[in-house]
Amino acid sequence: MSAAPSSPASTALLTDRYELTMLDAALRDGTADRPCVFELFARRLPGARRFGVVAGTGRLLEAVGRFRFGDDELRYLRDERIVGPETLRFLEGFRFRGTITGYAEGELYFPGSPVLTVESTFAEAVVLETLALSILNHDSAVANAAARMSIAAGDRPLAEMGSRRAGERSAVAAARAAYITGFGATSNLEAGRRWGIPTMGTAAHSWTLLHDSEEAAFRSQIEAHGTDTTLLIDTYDIREGVATAVRVAGTGLGGVRIDSGDLPTVAAEVRAQLDELGATATRITVTSDLDEFAIAALAASPVDAYGVGTSVVTGSGSPTAGMVYKLVARQGGDGSWVSVAKTSTDKGSRGGRKAAFRELERGKATTELITVSDGFEPLGNAAEHPDARPLQVTLMQSGEADAAYLGAAGVHAAREHHSRVREELPVRALALSRSDPALPTVFREVD
């Protein structure tokens, strides 16, 4: 075969077998080249949350660009007899050449929002289903949780430190999603290198246990990193740890970290002790299995920053965003466009191409408006909805991704976009309790 050599960066087999067996059958019966429109959306918000956040878009665009079949991938498909010779020849030169539009990364979404629209042939679009869902479902789940934690934290800084509670690559993606939605730093160095996210971290309990005494550990850390470092004070007795920390570093100690105990009570006691010792500017960071509810419970406590691990990287009880990828329109045998939809009980979809707008009243969002066309007619534009903000952007045209959404620059742009659009949320959307979505989704047919 004449395909290019396989690269470790290839994403071609990050997929489910049935996508390639459908492709194989479509090439046989002549439907592979039919123009199609696929849509990625969520039927509901997981955990009865009030809004969702789109994350992973930039990662997906890069992954689509690497969706190529090299010698190793083709050999595997041939040896396992997953597809026939015609499909192997088709895949030798495969690259996605279609168009992808969707919500900008960092944007809010609601049930039925057309988060991603893929327009291409059936052959090109169907094979992207698992790749798109695995990235957006994971990253958006983390973003959904991280946004709630950011709201609960208010102006206090948040650091993501959950790498050890996730797969090694999922950990990097989780750090990225958390940063987009309000976290200010990560402990993960690959996330810092790959996505330009600020990194943080000083010492764990093993550092203190390594030394003959807590005082020796603190002195060594101060000598290495200066007095602005953060000392972990709960390896042994917290009160003694605070006293030792100030004795070693002086009243200019940068910070202390608490990783155990009844945090509201302990934080108050530590703050009082630090102030008594003259370390009034020493910051208190708390960690210890925090989630959005624990952070909210600490709102009145003298805490300066939070470090969150397990809860944020696992979606805080909702580890997937529950998005699906469905065919919503296709060309028929006569060349005309046909709206198609799944009608299964509780798992139906709405056919037709869609355009999305967020209606606003005095700067606050009121409705998620989705216009729907049965064919390929114009769906409306911003001028027709003067009190609404268009939500979709072109992410990839003719198989080429818009560079504005890629790399570290794309991550920072997504973070800024999320910060802006979250200001549009009504007050009721900021509550942490289970409820209906903060905005109703209204579908409007286009004649």
Indicate if 138 and 163 belong to the same structural domain.
Answer: no
Indicate if 308 and 160 belong to the same structural domain.
Answer: yes
Report pLDDT for 8.
Answer: 54
Domain contains 7: no
Indicate if 42 and 127 belong to the same structural domain.
Answer: yes
Percent of the chain's residues with pLDDT above 90: 91
Query: Domain ends where: 294, 313, 332?
Result: 313
Indicate if 329 and 381 belong to the same structural domain.
Answer: yes
Domain contains 349: yes
| Residue 271: domain span | 154-313
Query: Domain ends where: 313, 339, 373?
Result: 313
Q: What is the CATH number of the domain that holds 358?
A: 3.20.140.10
Q: What is the CATH number of the domain that holds 251?
A: 3.20.20.70
Domain contains 148: no
Place of tokens 């958390």: 178
Indicate if 178 and 196 belong to the same structural domain.
Answer: yes
Query: Domain ends where: 313, 337, 361?
Result: 313
Q: Is the pLDDT of residue 189 over 90?
A: yes
To the question of pTM greater than 0.85 for the whole model, the response is: yes
Indicate if 303 and 324 belong to the same structural domain.
Answer: no
Strand partners of residue 105: none
Indicate if 404 and 362 belong to the same structural domain.
Answer: yes
Residue with the larger pLDDT of the pair 235 and 5: 235
Indicate if 243 and 165 belong to the same structural domain.
Answer: yes
Domain contains 31: yes
- Segment among 32-41, 77-86, 237-246, 341-350 with least mean pLDDT: 341-350
Report pLDDT for 5.
Answer: 43
Indicate if 304 and 160 belong to the same structural domain.
Answer: yes
Report pLDDT for 379.
Answer: 63
The mean of the pLDDT values for the chain is 95
Report pLDDT for 1.
Answer: 43
User: How far is the C-alpha of 172 from the C-alpha of 31, rounded, in Å?
Assistant: 39
User: How far is the C-alpha of 71 from the C-alpha of 10, rounded, in Å?
Assistant: 11
Averaged pLDDT, 58-65: 98
Report pLDDT for 398.
Answer: 97
Q: Is the pLDDT of residue 154 over 80?
A: yes
Please give the tally of structural domains in the chain: 2
Indicate if 178 and 56 belong to the same structural domain.
Answer: no
Percent of the chain's residues with pLDDT above 70: 96
User: How far is the C-alpha of 285 from the C-alpha of 287, rounded, in Å?
Assistant: 7
Tell me the CA distances in angstroms from 188 to 55, 176, 389, one per residue in order. 18, 10, 36
Of the pLDDT bands very low, low, confident and very high (cuts 50, 70, 90), residue 134 is very high
How would you classify residue 182: left for phi > 0, otherwise alpha for psi between -120 and 50, otherwise beta?
left
Averaged pLDDT, 49-59: 98
Is 298:261 a contact under the CB 8 Å cutoff? no
Amino acid at 211: H
Report pLDDT for 446.
Answer: 82
Indicate if 192 and 304 belong to the same structural domain.
Answer: yes
Of the pLDDT bands very low, low, confident and very high (cuts 50, 70, 90), residue 385 is confident
Q: What are phi and psi of 117, to 5 degrees?
A: -125, 125
Of the pLDDT bands very low, low, confident and very high (cuts 50, 70, 90), residue 7 is very low
- Segment among 5-14, 63-72, 100-109 with least mean pLDDT: 5-14
Of the pLDDT bands very low, low, confident and very high (cuts 50, 70, 90), residue 2 is very low
Report pLDDT for 4.
Answer: 43
Report pLDDT for 386.
Answer: 83
Of the pLDDT bands very low, low, confident and very high (cuts 50, 70, 90), residue 122 is very high
